[in-house]
Amino acid sequence: MPYKSSKINKAEYLRDQNDMVIRDRYEFFSIKSSFGDVFKEAYHHSIRICLLKFFLLSSALAIALIFCWFTFFSVSASSDTIILNHEESETIKLTMTNPKLEGYTSSRDPYWIKAEKAFQERAHSGMIKLQNITAEAVAGEQGRVFLKAQGGGYDNINGLLRLDKPFMITTTSGAVAHFMAADINLSEGQLKTDQHVDIQHTDFYLTAGALHVLEKGQIMHFQGGVHLTLNK
């Protein structure tokens, strides 16, 4: 049977040898024996490692996404390009249907991304939006990460990747995460969402009302109705 967390009054900070911290509002176990303490600590470490790998993979995919999005509008692609002129707003929008790109990251790990449509306004060349996105990236020995999102955009001026509609991230390590929306600041290695998050792994299931990831996944703040179930 799965082990469920028990609530405590104060927030608990968990730290391992890699100086990684998970801030939670719930204690993982209520077992008082020494065996229970050892078992609890082992699970703490296992979960921290799983979450760290997950967010490192997600960061690799996000970097590949940004590179692709600007490449869409700087090279000739096989997809159809349509220029739309909205007379009422006097804006010109560059639209590409069914764009798809494959390539390699700076660490020579392969990736691909495709979308139903890509948009860029001529007056706001620093902003690119995609609709119905699917993508895959490989991060060395850590495995592969896959993204399926309804839509998103990248703000080059502020260095912000914004996925403002529901999206799902999966990895070959067995992690599946469902987000309603999220803002990702790549320069600072931060992910922020104040909406519901579900992260499922073969070893555990974690749900929270909000999530803030700092220092490229080294610090994770789970807040708002946090529940953790460990699978035996």
pLDDT band for position 79 (50/70/90)?
very low
Q: How many helices (H) and strands (E) does the chain have?
A: 1, 19
For residue 197, being part of any structural domain is answered with yes
Q: Is the pTM of this model over 0.85?
A: no
- How far is residue 134's CA from residue 113's CA, in Å, rounded to a whole number? 6
Higher per-residue pLDDT: 71 or 160: 160
123 touches 146 (CB < 8 A): no
- The share of the chain scoring above pLDDT 90, in percent, equals 5
Mean pLDDT across 27-43: 46
Q: Give the number of domains in the chain.
A: 1
Among 18-22, 74-78, 135-139, the range of highest mean pLDDT: 135-139
Token readout for 212 is 């803030």
The per-residue pLDDT of the chain, averaged, comes to 68
pLDDT the model gives residue 56: 57
Higher per-residue pLDDT: 70 or 142: 142
- In this predicted structure, the answer to whether residue 180 has a pLDDT above a threshold of 90 is yes
19: domain range? 11-75+133-230
Mean pLDDT across 93-103: 78
- In this predicted structure, the answer to whether residue 64 has a pLDDT above a threshold of 90 is no
For residue 184, being part of any structural domain is answered with yes
- In this predicted structure, the answer to whether residue 18 has a pLDDT above a threshold of 60 is no
Among 86-90, 98-102, 103-107, 119-123, the range of highest mean pLDDT: 98-102
For residue 59, being part of any structural domain is answered with yes
- How far is residue 198's CA from residue 175's CA, in Å, rounded to a whole number? 10
- In this predicted structure, the answer to whether residue 194 has a pLDDT above a threshold of 80 is yes
Token readout for 105 is 């990251």
Q: Partners of 133 in the beta sheet?
A: 115, 149
What is the domain-level CATH number for residue 205?
2.60.450.10
Q: Is 32 helix (H, G, I), strand (E, B) or coil?
A: coil
Mean pLDDT across 59-67: 58
For residue 118, being part of any structural domain is answered with no
pLDDT band for position 100 (50/70/90)?
confident
Among 182-191, 194-203, 216-225, the range of highest mean pLDDT: 194-203
What is the pairing mode between strands 21-27 and 219-223? parallel
pLDDT the model gives residue 212: 86
What element of type H or E holds 220?
A: strand 219-223
Mean pLDDT across 160-184: 86
Give backbone dihedrals phi and psi of 156, rounded to 5 degrees, phi first.
Answer: -70, -30
